[in-house]
Amino acid sequence: GEDVEQSLFLSVREGDSSVINCTYTDSSSTYLYWYKQEPGAGLQLLTYIFSNMDMKQDQRLTVLLNKKDKHLSLRIADTQTGDSAIYFCAEIVYSGNTPLVFGKGTRLSVIA
C-alpha cells in the first residue's frame, strides 16, 4: 500500500533555510502536499505540487519533486520562529475516493 516517510525532527537557527524531506511509495500519486500543524491547531495546507512538475515556489517556500526517486522536499527560506510546527507530507492518488496518506510529520524547531 501507499506509505510516506519523513524524518521526525529538524532544528535550525532563525534566518537559516530549513529543508524537510519526504519519500513516498506510490508512483501514481497525482498531488503531493505539505501541511503545517501548529501546537493545538488543525492541519493547514501550506502548498502542493502536481506530479508533472519538478519545482514550485511560493514566497519563502520551495517544493522540489524528484519523481524518479519518489522524493519530495520543502525548503523554507529565512526560517522564522513562527515557522516552528510539525510539517506533514501527504500524497493523493487519482483513484475515486482514495484518501490522502500522510507521513508521521517532521517537527521543526527554530532557535532564535
Partner 1 sequence: EPEVTQTPSHQVTQMGQEVILRCVPISNHLYFYWYRQILGQKVEFLVSFYNNEISEKSEIFDDQFSVERPDGSNFTLKIRSTKLEDSAMYFCASTLNTNEKLFFGSGTQLSVL
6 with 108: CB under 8 angstroms? no
Regarding 22 and contact with partner 1 (CB under 8 A), the answer is no
All residues at 6 or more sequence positions from 40 whose CB lies less than 8 Å from its CB, including other chains: none
Comparison of 83 and 105: residue with beta carbon closer to partner 1: 105
Comparison of 28 and 80: residue with beta carbon closer to partner 1: 28
All residues at 6 or more sequence positions from 23 whose CB lies less than 8 Å from its CB, including other chains: 4, 5, 6, 69, 70, 71, 72
Regarding 103 and contact with partner 1 (CB under 8 A), the answer is yes
E strand or H helix that includes residue 23: strand 18-24
**Which residue from 18, 20, 22, 35 is in contact with partner 1, where contact means CB under 8 A?**
35
Comparison of 9 and 16: residue with beta carbon closer to partner 1: 9
**Which residue from 28, 44, 57, 66 is in contact with partner 1, where contact means CB under 8 A?**
44
- The CA distance from 84 to 92, in Å, is 25
Residues that bind partner 1 (CB under 8 A): 30-31, 33, 35, 41-45, 48, 88, 90, 92, 94, 96-105
